[in-house]
Structure 1
Amino acid sequence: MADTLASWRDAALLLIDHQVGTMSWVKSIPFEEMKRNALMLARTAGILKLPVVLTSSMEGHAQGPLLSELETILPTAFKSRIQRAGIVNAMNDEKFAAAVKATGRETLIVAGVTNDVCTVFPVLTLLEQGHHVLVAADAGGSPGKMADELALERMARAGATLLGTNQLLAGLAGDWSTPEGGELVAVLSQALQA
């Protein structure tokens, strides 16, 4: 599938394991920056009315609950989130895979914590299935810089498009002067001034 604004706008957003415990293990990017980027993606999906699939792993353990802000920003997706019992590759979870399929979207925007575990494996599966995958690389991270670089390189080699969240938002906006573009500028400026 072509890497075009039209295909981006016809995407679904998959947010994988943005849990407070798991996020605390990340050292390749500052916690607050990673959190800000994940929440910008969530707000963007709401503005553009993109389907969203949220998933978490073992919320009652060290991984902890999903970011509480996600419940406020995406209440429907939060309520119907897929709570995995520990399956590493979210696409190997039948409920998550079914929720992704139910979006009907060929283009998928993926952000996960951590990039070296939670993101890389489902991205590789989605690519094998023929999806066009955009990875918001800075809405996740890894316990170490090398681990993050290796995971991002592996996804890129497999065919994923790696982007920073700001670049992704700009591409989705296409034109800041439209009503949706104006809302996205507000999301971006509010997040960057926080």
Structure 2
Amino acid sequence: MPTLDASTSHLLLIDFQARLMPAIHDGDTVTTQAAKLLSAARILDLPRSYTEQNAEKLGGTVANLAPEQGETVLSKMSFDACRNSAVTEDLSGNATLIVAGCEAHVCVLQTVLGLLDRGHRVAVAADATGSRTPANRDAALARMAAHGAEIVTTEMVLFEWLGTAEHAQFRAIMQLIK
């Protein structure tokens, strides 16, 4: 498959919620990497969406990933966000979905499988995706890959979005990596 193209990418952040993140193994690292993806998507003006699972119980999105005006927050109760018509409408089109989130083996896995089933190209940022246990995260990433998702890292995504060191936003994106 070709490299990720910023002009056809859409960042989907799944369930980075206040009451869930403290239970995620290495949760600070996971949210830090997701924040880099989010910042880069904002700098490059890429579409960005968030899901929140049962927000009444799990709280809203954590502060360092808080949605800004114009960014879509999609509430859901089903683990597969694609079972929610608002989500499928928001993610319609031929965009490549860059996915990060929690928990890898529940909502991220089921949503990625749903996106793949609907014909989307999906790239999952492994270092910005977590579960309560490493075994669950690793099994989920392997299963997603077996079904056709690309498993990438945050830096892979950022450099592929840029494509060249001559990109107008190269220095701004490099500040996220340092």
* Residue of structure 2 equivalent to 1:92: 83
| Structure 1 portions without partners, runs of 5+ | 190-194
- Aligned partner of residue 60 in structure 1, secondary structure: helix
Farther-moved stretch of structure 1 (175-184 vs 158-167): 175-184
What is the one-letter code of the residue matched to 2:74? I
Percent identity of paired positions between Structure 1 and Structure 2: 30
1:18-167 aligned at under 5 Å gives the runs: 18-27=16-25, 30-61=26-57, 63-71=58-66, 74-77=68-71, 80-84=72-76, 86-101=77-92, 104-167=93-156
TM-score of the superposed pair, with normalisation by structure 1: 0.85
* Residue of structure 2 equivalent to 1:14: 12
What is the one-letter code of the residue matched to 1:66? T
The structure richer in strand per residue is 2
TM-score of the superposed pair, with normalisation by structure 2: 0.92
CA-atom RMSD, angstroms?
Answer: 1.6
Q: How many residues align?
A: 178
**Per-residue deviation, 1:53:** 1.3
| Structure 2 portions without partners, runs of 5+ | none
- Aligned partner of residue 60 in structure 2, secondary structure: coil
The CA deviation string for residues 31-73 of structure 1, in whole angstroms up to 9 with x for no partner, is 2111111111111111111111111011221x2220123336x
What is the one-letter code of the residue matched to 1:3? P
**Per-residue deviation, 1:129:** 1.4
